[in-house]
Amino acid sequence: EVQLVESGGGLVQPGGSLRLSCTASGFIFGGYWMHWVRQGPGKGLVWVSRINADGRTTAYADSVKGRFIISRDNAKNSLHLQMNSLRAEDTAVYYCARWGLGSGIYGLDYWGLGTQVTVSS
């Protein structure tokens, strides 16, 4: 069974940093691109970042470019999001999700339950 479990969320002051993790199981992690998607309180889904299967290429939404860094450790089946210079508008639930192309699916076919990040003084 495919599972994605996020961790690392919490309360942080503006300007602070936080590192999110996503632990994957039930599939060959190194065969899939991975994404982070966030959802502010009462808001819609917003794409944040993605990383390809071997970790060599990454992409970011303009709103986080230069502040967030996505990475992965395929040996440990883990995905990370280093978030620096956090702002109040980064407050959201952060989901990791699998891009299903490795299974022939052009979509985010599995999602974690999310981890809450709150940026406030």
Compute the distance between CA of residue 108 and CA of residue 17 in angstroms, rounded to an integer.
Answer: 27
Residues within window 18-77 making contact with other proteins, judged by CB under 8 A: 33, 35, 37, 44-47, 50, 52, 59, 61-62
Residue number with CB closer to other proteins (29 or 94): 94
Q: Which residues contact 28 (CB under 8 A, 6 or more apart)?
A: 102
9 binds other proteins (CB under 8 A): no
Q: What is the largest CA-CA distance in the chain?
A: 45
CB of 44 vs other proteins, minimal distance in Å: 5
88 binds other proteins (CB under 8 A): no
Distance between CA atoms of 59 and 54, rounded to whole angstroms?
Answer: 14
Interaction between residue 109 and other proteins (CB under 8 A): yes
Shortest distance in whole angstroms from residue 119 CB to other proteins: 21
CB atoms within 10 A of CB 31: 13
Minimal CA–CA distance to 61: which of 36, 43, 42, 97? 36
Least Å from the CB of residue 16 to other proteins:
26
Residues that bind other proteins (CB under 8 A): 33, 35, 37, 44-47, 50, 52, 59, 61-62, 95, 100, 105-109, 111-114
